[in-house]
Amino acid sequence: MEQLDLPLAEWIVLALMAERPSHGFAIAALTAEGAEIGEFWYISRPMVYRSITRLVERGLITAVGSEEGNRGPQRMIYAATRSAKSTVTRWLSEPVTELFDVRAELTCKLLLLQRRATSPARLVER
């Protein structure tokens, strides 16, 4: 798969989907203000769902099932494709080259690596 040019929000959603199949509501809960990811990079619920739509359109994630919502409609569960998982792994090891991106992108990469129980040594070294 070629190098992707995705906004940071889409990278984060894709990386979370690469961890395990999930639905948009669960991803939005992780990226909400004050939540684990949202504490560093807040992604609104509408942006999460927009990112999911774009990732599906690009063939990076695919619907793998659904589950009943507590109070609403069924929630569609998505999973990252095999090639998307490899792409996320490469992205997580790529250095952040722009000083402007250090706070957001580097912090998010470090947090996502921690969630994977993966050492950040390669990223920091590069």
Q: Write down all domains in the chain, each with its CATH number in brackets.
A: 8-117 (1.10.10.10)
Return the pLDDT at 33: 93
Tell me how far apart the alpha carbons of residues 101 and 106 are, in angstroms, rounded to a whole number. Answer: 7
User: Counting every residue, how long is the chain?
Assistant: 126
Return the pLDDT at 1: 44
Q: What pLDDT tens digit does each residue of the chain (126 aa) get?
A: 456 889 999 999 999 999 999 999 999 999 999 998 888 889 999 999 999 999 999 999 999 998 886 776 788 999 999 999 999 999 998 888 877 777 788 888 989 999 998 887 777 777
Rounded alpha-carbon distances, angstroms, from residue 14 to 68, 81, 100: 22, 10, 22
